Structure 1
Amino acid sequence: MNILAPLGAKEEVEMLAESGAEEFYCGITPMEWMEKYSPGVWINRRNPYAGFPSFKDLKEAVRQAENYEIPIFLTLNAPYYMEKQYPMLIDLIKRCTEEVGIKAFIVSDPGLMVAMKNKVPEAAIHVSSLAAPMNTGSIELYKQMQVERIVLPRSVQLNEIPALKEAAGDVELEVFILNDGCVYEESFCMTTHSAGAFCSQSQWDYEPFHSDGNKVLSEKDFKILNDQVNDYREFVWFVNDCNCQIANDGLPLGPCGLCSLGKLEKMGVDSLKVVGREGAPYRKLASVQMVKAVIDQVRAQASEREIEKTARKIRNQPQYCESGLMCYYR
């Protein structure tokens, strides 16, 4: 299993590579795209300023990564693109493949995948989690498109992965391992966070109604509703990186799958995705170091129990781990 780290600037390459990153992924929003479609129309699933500012900087990052024999993958994972946007995207893909040295493209729009196969057949495709590859039927579909890797959505659980791996065959599988959740199933989300992540807000006011339209609820019914709302708010708090906080020891909080690394390795998972292209360099560094510390246990053939113990010790948040709400793989 490789550690796939987020990259936001060429200055981060050495720091993350020396800390254990074995693959990188990043975004770029060319000025031509912003001039034509505005910064509010995202070319990938992060705002334009979370990626590289220029092809020159991206090419320098690729050059530095090559010194470590680390490939860089580029995100083109907006939920969908308009057909009239395809020519600009294909030109970008050609340039990044032939001149920059990008090894693969993380894509969610099946239409763009088809266009890539027709126009730039040498460009490798990694199917984004936004493309909903969450069952054997979808895996078979993307295999027919001759993709090289499939990124499983966050909602896929451990007991589902073996069947997906069997269906994938020689196609690599990538899973989320650290940072950033999604309140809903992002595979079916047709919006962006350009206007703010309204889905992660839960501190709204509400007025209870009975099913018969009566505003007066019994004390018992009101308590049931209030408990459910509070449970939902707690869930959203965890998904939203524990309200975007960091722990007292400086480590990032939020969704985590470190305890499951032993199981994931036995299932044949190929890559572990650390989320956070837009994050601060220290957050990326600490995240990669956490994954590396647990992966070292896996590679030393420690037992699943020892791996879980190491993961919980590194996290140092027993109350959050016990809740189960901070876990990708519950």
Structure 2
Amino acid sequence: MKPEILAPAGSLEKLKIAIDFGADAVYLGGGKLNLRAFSNNFTNEEIAEGVKYCHDRGRKVYAVVNVFARNYDLNGVEEYIKGLEELGIDAILAGDPAIIVAAKKAAPNLEIHLSTQANTVNWMAAKFWYDQGVKRIVLARELTFNEIKGFKENLPEDCELEAFVHGSMCIAYSGRCLISNYMLGRDANKGICSNACRYKYALVEETRPGEYYPVVEDEDGTYIMNSKDLCMIKHIPELVESGIHSLKIEGRMKSEFYVASAVKAYREAVDSYFENPEGYEFKEEWMHILNRVSHRQYHTGFFFGRNGEQNYDVSSYIRNYDIVGIVKSYDPETKVATILQKNRVFKDDCVEVLRARTPDFNVTLMDMFDVEKNVDTDVANRAQMIFTAKVDKPLKENDMLIKGKKVLSL
């Protein structure tokens, strides 16, 4: 079984990028009941456009309704879920039994996926949810491959399994954290986590306020609650052979560059495996693609049972590349590209082109022109600025232009 590549869609633009770069399905949040309150959650009009964009290309859209609902959250929940069904959503992701009950009542034909927030860590729990009408179980991140094997051996064949394979991890068990809520009144289980686990901490003795005693792990301080990022790109054979139906990429809050890169790497790796399973070889270029985006140090989570790798090292991101623009159009006669600026870029800069199903290549941005001001320019330095540039190789609409960050030596 060829697993689905499931990508995050934090906005309509990111949804289209994920699909263009090869995702089989995307997951998004609507106006309520999802755990990314600070994401650019979709309006009903955007959901409809996103669904059409996906369905026209034979892809699927899942809507996240995965909060732990309080009584007041249940007001209008049936109408909201029925509305998602009418917009053409292929499935909802939920972890709260109340929302699942409401979904079965309001939209009995709508497919239900069980959120990882339900922290399903054994096959009997998965079978319980399956018997309640859940089609797919999003496994708890804390499971090993050996444990996942037990799921496959004991569940009905049509009970699908989904697992996170790439992206940020959480210190708390299946993301059920109260630190942010306790410290700042921002409830992670309601979608407004402050990521307090990634702060720097020190000790203060109660009778000596203002005297901070450092807790030192290394020269940068201590980050005992800070999780590395998950990355399973080097283990595609194990993922496929485990029987996982859907390989999920975390990151609805992350950039277009991140979405394009993660989908491209996993799409190429999975396709390469299925082209020749016996002769499959990992390609370092896939790791290079993932190393360019902003990330914390990578590890393999709990899949191989090495739980101790979950939490340590600095909390800062590794960020070696920036996205500098997205190509909106290209004139093959004049060799001029119209580009939407994303980060500062200069005339005559050499940039890399990130394109789906195509090896990366370089182009030089020459003869830059500021469209809004109608003047030649040496730099594109305004957010969302539209500019043109002559390039030495053909480009395509939606090509992503990226550039390595300069490392200053002392």
The answer (yes or no) to whether the contact 1:153–1:187 under 8 Å persists in 2 is no
Choose from 34, 53, 65 the match for 1:76. Answer: 65
Secondary structure of the corresponding residue to residue 203 of structure 2: coil
Q: Secondary structure at the match of 1:233?
A: coil
Q: Quick check: 297-306 or 16-25, which moved more?
A: 297-306
Corresponding position: 1:165 with 2:163: no
CA distance in 1, matches of 2:284, 2:16: 30
Q: Does 1:57 align with 2:34?
A: no
Cα pair distance change 1:265/1:195, threshold 3 Å: closer
RMSD over aligned Cα, in angstroms?
2.9
Query: In the TM superposition, what is the alpha-carbon distance from 1:310 to its structure 2 partner?
Result: 6.7
**2:37 pairs with 1:44:** no
Structure-1 separation of matches of 2:230 and 2:19: 23
Corresponding residue for 1:272? 247
Distance 1:117 1:261 in 2: 35
Partners of 1:316 and 1:9 in 2: CA distance: 23
Correspondence 1:286 to 2:286: no
1:1-330 residue pairs with structure 2 within 5 A? 1-29=3-31, 43-52=33-42, 54-78=43-67, 80-98=68-86, 100-169=87-156, 170-189=158-177, 191-192=187-188, 194=192, 196-201=194-199, 203-206=200-203, 233=223, 236=226, 238-239=227-228, 254-303=229-278, 306-307=281-282, 312=287, 315=290, 326-328=299-301, 329-330=303-304
Q: CA deviation at 1:308?
A: 7.7
Distance 2:280 2:225 in 1: 26
Partner of 2:383: none
C-alpha contact (below 8 Å) 2:142/2:174 kept by paired residues: no
Q: What amino acid maps onto 2:240 in structure 1?
A: E
Q: Deviations over 1:305-326 (max 9, x none)?
A: 7238675565569xx99x8x62
5+ unaligned residues in a row in structure 1: which ranges? 31-42, 209-224, 240-253
Q: What's the counterpart of residue 333 of structure 2? A: none
Larger Rg: 2
TM-score by length of 1: 0.75
Gaps of 5+ in 2: 179-186, 206-214, 305-410
CA offsets 1:61-93 (integer angstroms, 9 cap, x no match): 111111101110000011x11234324121111
* Structure that is richer in strand per residue: 2
Give the Cα separation in 2 of the matches to 1:287 and 1:149. Answer: 23
Distance 1:109 1:234 in 2: 30
> Matched residues in 2 for 1:140 and 1:91: separation?
28
* Residues 260, 308 of structure 1: 8 Å contact kept: no
Sequence identity of aligned pairs in percent?
23
| Kept after mapping to 1: 8 A contact 2:261/2:290 | no
What are the Cα deviations for residues 273-311 of structure 1, in whole angstroms up to 9, with x where unaligned? 111112111111111111112112221234597238675
What one-letter code is carried by the residue in structure 2 that aligns with 1:16?
A: A
- How many pairs were matched up? 279
Q: For the residues of structure 2 that align with 1:87 and 1:55, how far apart are their CA atoms?
A: 18
Kindly tell me: are residues 316 and 111 of structure 1, through their superposed partners in 2, closer, same or farther at Cα, counting changes over 3 Å?
A: closer
Structure 2 CA distance for aligned equivalents of residues 287 and 207 of structure 1: 42
Q: Which aligned segments of 4 or more residues in structure 1 are displaced greater than 4 angstroms?
A: 225-232, 308-317
DSSP 3-state at the match of 1:259: helix
Listed one character per residue, the Cα deviations across residues 76-116 of structure 1 (whole Å, up to 9, x for unaligned) are 011x1123432412111101112x10010000101211222
Q: Following the alignment from structure 1 to structure 2, what is the Cα–Cα distance between the partners of residues 196 and 286?
A: 26
Structure 1 pair 82–145 and aligned structure 2 pair: CA distance change class (3 A): same
How has the CA–CA distance of structure 1 residues 158 and 232 changed in structure 2, closer, same or farther, with 3 Å as cutoff?
Answer: farther
Distance 2:96 2:70 in 1: 10
Contact 1:262-1:303 at 8 Å conserved across structures: no
Q: Measured at CA, do residues 66 and 258 of structure 1 come closer, stay the same or move farther in structure 2, by a change above 3 Å?
A: same
Higher helix share: 1
Q: CA deviation at 1:327?
A: 1.8
Distance 1:307 1:234, change over 3 A: farther
Residues 201-232 of structure 1: CA distance to partner in whole angstroms, max 9, x if unpaired? 2x201379xxxxxxxxxxxxxxxx95599897
